[in-house]
A and B are shown apart, each in its own frame.
Chain A
Amino acid sequence: MDTFVFSLLNGTVYGLLLFMVSAGLTLVFGMMGVLNFAHASFYMLGAYFAYSLQGLLGFGPAVVTATLLAGAVGVVVERFFLRRVHHHGHAHELLLTFGLSFIIAEAIKLFFGNFPVDYRIPPALDFAAFTLGRQQYPAYRVLMAAVALAMFGTLYLLLTRTRIGIIVRAAIHRPRMAQALGHNVQLVFMGVFGVGAALAGLAGAVAGAFYTTNPNMALEVGVMVFVVVVVGGLGSLGGAMLASLLIGIVTSLAVSVDSSLADLLALVGAQAWAQDIGGLMTLKVSSLAATLPFLLMLLILLVRPSGLMGEKT
């Protein structure tokens, strides 16, 4: 029972982390219609910035600075790269961001080497938040969840309750109309892109210390985040939240399930037959955990092509 609660909690925290990264991605997609392939690279940049700055500034200020730096890189990418190729169409923009993600990953390898760096939680934050049964739950996970929830709350209030939020939503929904009404839509685009990148950077700076910080982290998280935005519905913030939690919890729970398809078939008395076949039939669910999000995504696409809460197609 304890293990179940723990995996549930871990899954929720991982889901919230995925949400931090996918929030910016889905907002930018809703606004510009382009899926930013380099988005997860900002997550990686955040982790590496915080890692290199923490010796100089200490953990807290390093995380804040890393967030701002990642946002600045995002602004540069939008202003000097994406805007230049905008007239070539969405496919071209997608390819350009793909190339940029490739360059960022290779540049990280150049500067920091192709191996994980020693980026750790500061000792001051490394304690147990509470004890359940006989296991201790690390406070840092609780902190990560709190950061993500605070971010969701702020973002939600900012978008629905403030004047800036109204303009941003107008620019997302009807960019030409917003422009005709005298708003600087280009600036809004750049701002949202930068904020999205900064949020991904924040997620990286916070999570990089807990998970590993290596040059592959962008790809690992990136693929998962694309699954999240497709499952949640492209452009929907609430959908991103729902899908993040769903995927986080499903993968986390699956890791602790120790049965296979053959065991399921035992219910209809076909266990021996399934075990004879081997292969997929006898694979434990726990070893399939990494593939479950992709299966979920294919399932969603079949049943509900626009995603859980998506409206734009």
Chain B
Amino acid sequence: MTRLSLPLLAGGLALLAALPNLLPAGLLIASIQMLIAALFASAYSLLSGRAGMLSFGHAAYFGVGAFATVHAMNAFSGTGLLPTPLMPLVGAATGLIVGVVAGWFATQRSGTTFAMITLAIAELLHALAPQLKSLFGGESGISTMRAPAWGINFGSTTQVYYLTLVWVLLSLALLYFHSLTPAGRLTLALRENGHRLRLLGYNVHGLGVSAFAISAMFSGLAGGLQALSNEAANYAVFEAGVSASVVLNSYIGGVSSFLGPALGAALMTFFGYAVSDATQSWLLYQGVLFVLVMMYVPAGVSGLTGSGARLVKRGGWKLALPIMLLSAGAALLLSAGGVFVIEMLQRLCSQDYRALAQAAAELPNIALFGRAWAPMAMITWAVPIVLLTSGALLTTAARRRLGAKT
């Protein structure tokens, strides 16, 4: 903990605690999803970032946790040993058990084969889930109710938000604590050099299984929170898209820092929620962003602040500020141009537009950003070209400055 980050952390916590008073109900539901996605991404990057074992099937543990929680909620109905606030523990326990079994198989191999096994296990569950109706409820899924407990009825979104917040913060604290323990340090060593670790006498397979199981446990907890907030679970949680989004979120955020994946997941979930009405191509943007990050900023978005700070340290603000402004301007122009092209194409290729175009003699205009664009007019395609070229020019300028001064 540096001097700067402690007040920052306290401020962040205070903001999270005050959120229900600041936001309307719709955004609060989105915040719950953001918190859950943040926990899921943190759990994921314990395995893939810290231990260096790429998993493409983490939806399995998330989904198992969600279903176990739903079943527990129906079985106990909030009374007895497990009141509603403790329900996510069921998800965590199930995630842990399934994680130990799956991890024992998967960590037999490393590298690419490991990644393929995780994918196969998730697909196995996804193919099996709709067949086992009694367990996973078939197509319609299983629904449940949050029962009142401890004098709270868990009816309002605010109460669910606080419940989720407490669990997510507790889990993040535990995950952070794990990274400080000897076992956590050894996980890092596992990524760096498994052979040397084996030579030093450590049980490499056991270490791998433990990292896998802990990651699966917190994924299951995230799934449990999801089930608690939705009051339902459907076999769609096993879909490849769920596994994919956690990979994209974590790496966009940057797996090399502890909070990177959580921030990435929260940001991506927020954007996904914010633009879901405006565009149908959000997943495409997410994919493009991911590939750009992988190619140009391997440390992720959270790594950008680090390199910015290094730049200031090395050359002072006088050097750093123009470069930062130039890069920000370039990013803005390039994304504006990219968004314009994608949205334009999306509307051009849509079913409705094709039907319209077939009925009319010439191509009808497209409404975008509050203006009607003629698909064949020069101006329509000049706008994105100008945006993209000027963005590219700014990028080269920023690079040249960076290259000249350092």
A residues apposed to B, CB below 8 Å: 29, 33-35, 81, 84-85, 88, 90-92, 94-96, 98-100, 102-103, 106-107, 109-113, 219, 223, 226-227, 229-230, 234, 278-280, 283, 287-288, 290-291, 294-295, 297-298, 301-302, 305
Contact = CB atoms under 8 A, between A and B. Distances in A.
B284 A106 contact: yes
Contacts of B358: none
A102 to B, nearest CB: 4
A278 B134 CA distance: 9
A226 B122 CA distance: 13
Interface residues of B, number: 45
A146 to B, nearest CB: 30
A34 to B, nearest CB: 7
Interface of B: 52, 54, 56, 105, 108-109, 111-113, 115-117, 119-121, 123-124, 127-128, 131-132, 134-135, 240, 244, 247-248, 251, 281, 283-284, 286-288, 290-291, 294-295, 298, 342, 345-346, 349-351
Contacts of A234: 112-113
A81 B128 contact: no
B109 A301 contact: yes
Nearest to A100: B291
Nearest to A283: B131
B291 to A, nearest CB: 4
Nearest to A290: B127
A103 B288 contact: yes
A84 B105 CA distance: 33
A94 B54 contact: yes
A34 B127 CA distance: 27
Contact of B281 (A91, A110, A230, A298): A110
A226 B116 contact: yes
A91 B294 contact: no
The dominant DSSP class at the B interface is: helix
The dominant DSSP class at the A interface is: helix
Contacts of A113: 349-351
The 4 closest A-B pairs by CB, nearest first: A106-B284, A102-B287, A294-B124, A103-B287
A110 B54 contact: no
A33 B56 CA distance: 18
A96 B295 contact: yes
Nearest to A284: B131
B113 A91 contact: no
24 contacts: A85-B298, A90-B112, A91-B52, A91-B54, A94-B54, A95-B247, A96-B291, A98-B56, A98-B247, A102-B248, A106-B287, A107-B284, A110-B345, A111-B345, A227-B120, A230-B113, A230-B116, A234-B112, A283-B131, A287-B131, A294-B121, A297-B117, A297-B120, A298-B105
Given A35-B115, A88-B298, A288-B131, A301 B240 contact: no
Contact of A111 (B112, B121, B349): B349
A302 B101 CA distance: 13
